[in-house]
């Protein structure tokens, strides 16, 4: 029961996965659905603490796509919406659109002061 409560707090009460967690409740059995998820997530981590937001997102995504058989694109869109609720939050690697992310990095390179000074002299 402590695991259930801890994962409920991390996933539901935190508000970080408002839409994504609803996949767990589609059949209307909130307790049974979330209990199965909490048992599964513990079997993957063997821990109830020190689980980063990125790792938790990855675990939830795996559960939704593998155990609940939700399509990958649908699950990604839902999780991206959840994470983007907080402006400026960085998407976990598995949710980033590889090409878009790489192009964005190339267009806006980040240099430190020394690098900027030398690039201006060229």
Q: DSSP character for 13?
A: I
pTM of the entire structure? 0.75
Is the per-residue pLDDT at 108 higher than 50?
A: no
Q: Count of H helices and E strands in the chain?
A: 6, 0
Cα torsion through 56, 59, 60, 61, rounded to 10: 120
Determine the average pLDDT of the residues in 82-104: 76
Give the model's confidence band at 29: pLDDT under 50 very low, under 70 low, under 90 confident, else very high: confident
CA atoms within 13 A on the CB side of 46: 0
Q: DSSP character for 17?
A: T
Model confidence pLDDT, tens digit, residues 39-56: 999 999 999 999 999 999
What is d(CA 12, CA 21) in angstroms, rounded to the nearest whole number?
A: 7
């Amino acid at each position: 029961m402590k695991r259930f409560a801890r994962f409920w707090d991390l996933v539901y009460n935190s508000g970080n996965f408002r839409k994504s967690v609803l996949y767990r409740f589609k059949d209307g059995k909130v307790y049974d659905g979330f209990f199965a998820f909490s048992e599964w997530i513990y079997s993957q981590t063997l821990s109830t603490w020190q689980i980063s937001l990125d790792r938790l997102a990855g675990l939830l995504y795996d559960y939704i796509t593998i155990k609940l058989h939700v399509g990958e694109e649908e699950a990604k869109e839902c999780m991206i919406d959840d994470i983007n609720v907080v402006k400026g939050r960085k998407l976990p690697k598995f949710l980033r659109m590889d090409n878009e992310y790489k192009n964005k990095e190339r267009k806006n390179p980040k240099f430190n002061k020394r690098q900027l000074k030398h690039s201006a002299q060229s």
